[in-house]
Structure 1
């Protein structure tokens, strides 16, 4: 039986073309546009538009070279830790008009270097952890959120680069100080007010009640102690009075007959 000769050059060419097509398909598949989204050209950069898609979570197959990501007007309520950490080239992230309720310290991990704009307006955010957004150098929009104005929020805002076009629309839905409710937070803080100097009335009342309780206990003990000692002294005096007195001696000088 004769040995097989080298493969025909045409077969090698077909194999090489098939390999290239398969590799190209894999590369395109890896950076393809997410199924419910659109990826129009945006000044030569990769833009991913997932707006008005009824999404309840952030898509996991967003291309790694995305520069602009629009996720506004969806139903996203939760942002997992590191949801955008693979998007190292991301410059603008629009999460406005969703149902986001909370932001974790690691939600935007990986975006500190290049992000320029983060839109979180028109959501349901009540509190912002101090370290959740402080490391971002981007302009941040927080207007139209039911924020709870407290000292932690004030400290967090001090470290943020708020968007000047929407900063006056950041209002207090609730507050540790009633005078802030319904008012623009930034204007109140610019006027010299502070959320970190609230008198702790509850603590003061509790301390006053505790001190009054201790004082009452001390007075009660003192009164009991005095009355108890008076009673003992009275009984001792009555006991002494009840003792028979010694008969008087008829010979006080002790001289007998």
Structure 2
């Protein structure tokens, strides 16, 4: 019996590695235990006969222009893929759907022109992504790395990028290193939010001295801290022609709304006054009618009383009152 950690276990591991190597190995490639290295072999296509248990695949410095998703999906245990210095282009969407365990991916020095959500969305364990030195790379979608929450190292240096949305990198909770140097950054007011995030972030930016503005001409070769100060002044303290137009439209809308509100208020007041005066007139008419209704019986009663006073009593004689004559003066 051999104790744990004995030469027997080491020899078993060695034999397994030799067996894996002996099963298959692409021509012009070297195969060691769980590693296939095809660097600089002028390969035109993705190599075949790669051992299925390969963990590390190096295809650097070849002429490969296409990565077949089906062949890659056979390498379910692959964690390291180096494809730098090839001719890989735009057809990378859904390419890595079968290598979900991939931790390291190097696609630098290729012909990438854009990165979409579908490019790396299946690489949930990705930690290092290098897509630098792709001069045709001009666009990275806002949610391109939305599923790569474990990403710690991202390099997009020396590409054709002029703009990068802040949320693209800000929403990566584990990001620690971000390469942005020697790009064609267009430092306008839309880019100010990204520059401000750079100044306030804890992320490390290697070669920070070469992270400069390319356009406009007034900010060319200006480093990001100085560009931030310039943009703060020009974007947040000064008004441009479109700003005045916007403020004019807002003022006109406020004036129009105030005029309409005043007109509606006036109409409501007139309607209310008319209704109130009509109600008062109706009340006055009702009061007059009530007074007339009560005044008629009272007048009749008064007339009857007056007649009763001047009517002679029965059995009495009416003796005319003697007339008084004035005596003529003598």
| TM-score where L is the length of structure 1 | 0.57
In 1, distance between residues paired with 2:233 and 2:53? 53
What CA distance in whole angstroms lies between the structure 2 residues aligned with 1:170 and 1:194?
21
Out of 104, 119, 131, the position equivalent to 2:141 is 104
Give deviations 1:14-41, integer Å, cap 9, x for gaps.
Answer: xxxxxxxxxxx9x93998959848x9xx
Residues 169-188 of structure 1 mapped to structure 2, 5 A cutoff: 169-175=210-216, 179-188=218-227
The structure having more radius of gyration, on CA atoms, is 2
Matches within 5 A, 1:45-84: 46-57=79-90, 58=92, 60-61=95-96, 63-84=99-120
CA distance in 1, matches of 2:141, 2:242: 30
* Structure 2 partner of 1:159: 197
* Within-5 A mapping of 1:1-257: 28=52, 36=64, 46-57=79-90, 58=92, 60-61=95-96, 63-98=99-134, 99-112=136-149, 114-136=150-172, 137-138=174-175, 139-160=177-198, 161=201, 162-175=203-216, 179-189=218-228, 194=233, 196-197=235-236, 199-203=238-242
Q: Which residue of 2 aligns with 1:7?
A: none
Cα deviation code 1:183-212 (max 9, x no counterpart): 1123443799556326344337879xx9xx
Tell me, yes or no, if the aligned pair for 1:168 and 1:187 is still in contact at 8 Å.
no
Higher relative contact order (CA 8 A, sep 6+): 1
CA change 1:80–1:34 in 2 (3 A) is: farther
CA distance in 2, matches of 1:46, 1:142: 25
Gaps of 5+ in 1: 1-24, 40-44, 211-257
| In structure 2, distance between residues paired with 1:106 and 1:204 | 30
- Label 1:67 to 1:195 Cα distance change in 2 as closer, same or farther (>3 A): farther
| More helix, by proportion | 2
Cα-Cα RMSD? 3.7
* Structure 1 residues 111 and 31: CA distance shift in structure 2, 3 A: same
In 2, Cα distance between equivalents of 1:198 and 1:173: 23
List per-residue Cα deviations over 1:216-246 (Å, max 9, x = no partner).
xxxxxxxxxxxxxxxxxxxxxxxxxxxxxxx
Contact 1:154–1:195 (CA under 8 A) maintained in structure 2: no
Contact between 1:46 and 1:66, CA under 8 Å: does it hold in 2?
A: yes
Which position in structure 2 is the counterpart of 1:224?
A: none
Structure 2: distance between partners of 1:195 and 1:205: 15
Partner SS for 1:63 = coil
1:123, 1:54 → 2: CA distance?
15
TM-score, normalised via structure 2 length: 0.45
Q: Does structure 1 conserve the Cα–Cα contact (< 8 Å) formed by 2:157 and 2:180? A: yes
The whole-number CA distance in structure 1 between the counterparts of 2:56 and 2:219 is 48
Count of residues in correspondence between the two structures: 177
1:253 match: none
